[in-house]
Amino acid sequence: MAIRYTVVPKNPEAHLFEVTCTVVEPDPAGERFALPAWIPGSYLVRDFARHIVSIRAESGGHEVALEKLDKQTWRAAPCTRPVVVTATVYAWDLSVRGAHLDTTHGFFNGTSVFLRVHGREHERCEVEIRRPAGARYRAWRVATALARDGAPAQGFGRYAAADYDELIDHPVEMGTFALVRFEACGIPHEVAITGRHDADLGRLRRDLARLCETQIRFWHGSRAGRAGGPKLPFDRYVFLVTAIGEGYGGLEHRASTALLCSRDDLPEAGGGEPGESYRTFLGLASHEYFHTWNVKRLKPAAFASYDLERENYTTLLWAFEGITSYYDDLLLVRSGLIAEKDYVEILGRSVTNLLRTAGRHVQTVADASFDAWIKYYRPDENTPNAQVSYYLKGSLVALALDLTIRAETQGRKSLDDVMRLLWRRYKKGGADYTGVDEDDVLAAAEEASGLSLERVLREWTEGTRDPDFGRLLAPFGIDFERRPALDKPHFALLGCTLAAGGEAKVTHVYDGAPAQSAGLSGGDVLLAVDGLRVTADNIDKRLARYLPGDTIDVHAFRRDELMTFRLQVGAQPPPKFLLKPDPKSPRHAATLRRRWLGQAG
Ligand SMILES: [Zn+2]
């Protein structure tokens, strides 16, 4: 007997979903129900049960006692007839990780609304998604990759999943979204865009189709989608896009993704060539789509079957997030959606960001992965000094590994081969799936390339040594130039960052920088530089006339107390790395570069 659910947007004005979970043959000892503590893909305990406003149980028309066992688990008193648990869930989290409901749309992840029935996670789940009551909701439709089980296309009604894991892996959007459809290698794709926007849907359709085809062929070869070609791991894919004023985020799922973006990131209908923020949007879409393989079906051992009640530790997020971050932009250039010189410039920015992060000397990328649960999602003013991002460093370790393999095999092998070997060997199969172990990535890299890579890879992932990017890029005809970063004087001269706009509030003070030596701290509000008022908007103009070695008096508020700090501007501003393809590179370098960045197929 399937576990049955209903989701009703009961009171959109108050942001309340009413959800039920019915177990036809409950455990005679009392059925236990729980909501996950976290959502796969976002490694922080979020305690979704805190949004349950009220919960009750009934059986055969009679109320059944519901005992709360811990922060997220309830046990219904034993009953012999079907038991129905009804919960009211508050949904006002406009992120890709939670649930959101108002009179304009509804969105939910299964982790926010579907109670897990203990011990019955492998049973089929049936869901009825109901339209909210009232005339204003007549035009609402539904977008989700959940399999329809009677519901019309884009309609309210019945959906189903093979088990609980699948049930919570298909977010659902409802409302009056714009819908775009395309096929990539024969697989139907949909893009549902929620929120007011003026997007050029034709452009979006064309660009995403190219990107998705490039990715499918990356994993499955050029015969993907052709008659007699390889079997693909999903038969439909949905992009759920929410466009807002300011926002950025994405979460991957097995056959869909939820993306949050600024409406200005989307290409404007009737506008000119879209700018850099569209590239950022495409990079986000590319990232989450790549996860369809790398992390959703090729998984670290710790995620082979999730424990949804607590943290699931792995040292491999650098590979699953970092390698995905490496390929997200790389596959844009290989799809022809961005130019080679733009891609190389993006790499330069990433290298600059990493080599400015003092925390990379303190935390290894393996440790950053393991501690994601307590550190990555909880950044504070000391983060740059104590941590390294497994996204950023992971993507640059992937770059370093790829360049090493390509250079040492004269372009015959690459990280692409490593990924495809991992895919063939470790893609998710049956219930006995064990996932990718700590050393499997290294072993696959060595096997696919025929090279000995243990020393360098361990240095980069379990040690804190920087890859030598200049040396690694040279064989590909990429100029690697180090310059002093003088474009933001408050950063170059003081060594701190500021919150955007308004008062000059310090966000981070870098280790060893003049601001730190003088005693300035994150949270301080800078008021004046040498007696002249400063704000976040004018401080760089004020500081532009200072030179290394100068002394500056800074007035600032801390805990509402006025304080004075005397700073000596450092002699060595932080570096900035500029990367450019050299048009005059020798032929073998140009060939290596083309094989790396050139358009696929
Ligand atoms: Zn990711």
For residue 432, the model assigns a pLDDT of 83
- Tell how far the Cα of 352 is from the centroid of ligand 1, in angstroms: 21
For residue 471, the model assigns a pLDDT of 97
- Tell how far the Cα of 322 is from the centroid of ligand 1, in angstroms: 8
3-state SS string for 504-540: EEEEEECCCCHHHHHCCCCCCEEEEECCEECCCCCHH
- Tell how far the Cα of 86 is from the centroid of ligand 1, in angstroms: 34
- Tell how far the Cα of 373 is from the centroid of ligand 1, in angstroms: 15
For residue 271, the model assigns a pLDDT of 83
For residue 601, the model assigns a pLDDT of 53
Per the model's pLDDT, the better-predicted residue between 416 and 487 turns out to be: 416
With a cut of 60, say whether residue 422 has pLDDT above it: yes
For residue 60, the model assigns a pLDDT of 94
- In the block, which residue shows the tokens 């009804």? 86
For residue 62, the model assigns a pLDDT of 96
With a cut of 90, say whether residue 350 has pLDDT above it: yes
Nearest-angstrom CA–CA distance, 301 and 77: 36
pLDDT in tens, 433-479: 999 998 999 999 999 999 999 999 999 999 999 999 999 999 999 99
- Tell how far the Cα of 41 is from the centroid of ligand 1, in angstroms: 7
Mean pLDDT computed over every residue of the chain: 96
- Tell how far the Cα of 95 is from the centroid of ligand 1, in angstroms: 15
- Tell how far the Cα of 252 is from the centroid of ligand 1, in angstroms: 7
- Tell how far the Cα of 99 is from the centroid of ligand 1, in angstroms: 20
For residue 397, the model assigns a pLDDT of 98
Mean pLDDT within 193-220: 97
Structure tokens of 351? 């290298």
- Tell how far the Cα of 265 is from the centroid of ligand 1, in angstroms: 19
Quick check: 89 and 9 in contact, CB under 8 A? no
Report the SS3 class of residue 191.
Answer: strand
| Torsion on CA atoms 23, 27, 32, 34, rounded to nearest 10 | -40
With a cut of 90, say whether residue 573 has pLDDT above it: no
Nearest-angstrom CA–CA distance, 439 and 319: 11
Mean pLDDT within 219-226: 94
3-state SS string for 547-593: CCCCEEEEEEEECCEEEEEEEECCCCCCEEEEEEECCCCCHHHHHHH
- Tell how far the Cα of 254 is from the centroid of ligand 1, in angstroms: 13
Nearest-angstrom CA–CA distance, 539 and 447: 54
For residue 226, the model assigns a pLDDT of 92
- Burial of 226 per CB tally in 10 Å (0-12, 13-18, 19+): exposed
Nearest-angstrom CA–CA distance, 500 and 568: 24
Question: Cα dist. 250→122, 247, 282 in Å?
Answer: 27, 10, 12
pLDDT in tens, 14-38: 999 999 999 999 999 999 999 999 9
- Tell how far the Cα of 4 is from the centroid of ligand 1, in angstroms: 31
- Tell how far the Cα of 288 is from the centroid of ligand 1, in angstroms: 6
- Tell how far the Cα of 372 is from the centroid of ligand 1, in angstroms: 13
| Torsion on CA atoms 117, 119, 122, 123, rounded to nearest 10 | -50
For residue 486, the model assigns a pLDDT of 80
For residue 570, the model assigns a pLDDT of 80
pLDDT in tens, 292-316: 999 999 999 999 999 999 999 999 9
pLDDT in tens, 375-396: 999 999 999 999 999 999 999 9
For residue 1, the model assigns a pLDDT of 81
Proportion of the chain above pLDDT 90, given as a percent = 94
DSSP-derived letter for residue 322 is I
Nearest-angstrom CA–CA distance, 278 and 146: 28
- Tell how far the Cα of 250 is from the centroid of ligand 1, in angstroms: 8
- Tell how far the Cα of 391 is from the centroid of ligand 1, in angstroms: 8
- Tell how far the Cα of 261 is from the centroid of ligand 1, in angstroms: 15
Nearest-angstrom CA–CA distance, 50 and 53: 8
Structure tokens of 400? 């370093």
Nearest-angstrom CA–CA distance, 242 and 281: 12
Judge if pTM exceeds 0.95. yes
pLDDT in tens, 113-122: 999 999 999 9
For residue 347, the model assigns a pLDDT of 98
Local confidence band at 600 (pLDDT 50, 70, 90 cut-offs) = low
- Tell how far the Cα of 109 is from the centroid of ligand 1, in angstroms: 17
pLDDT in tens, 546-566: 988 899 999 999 999 999 999
- Tell how far the Cα of 42 is from the centroid of ligand 1, in angstroms: 9
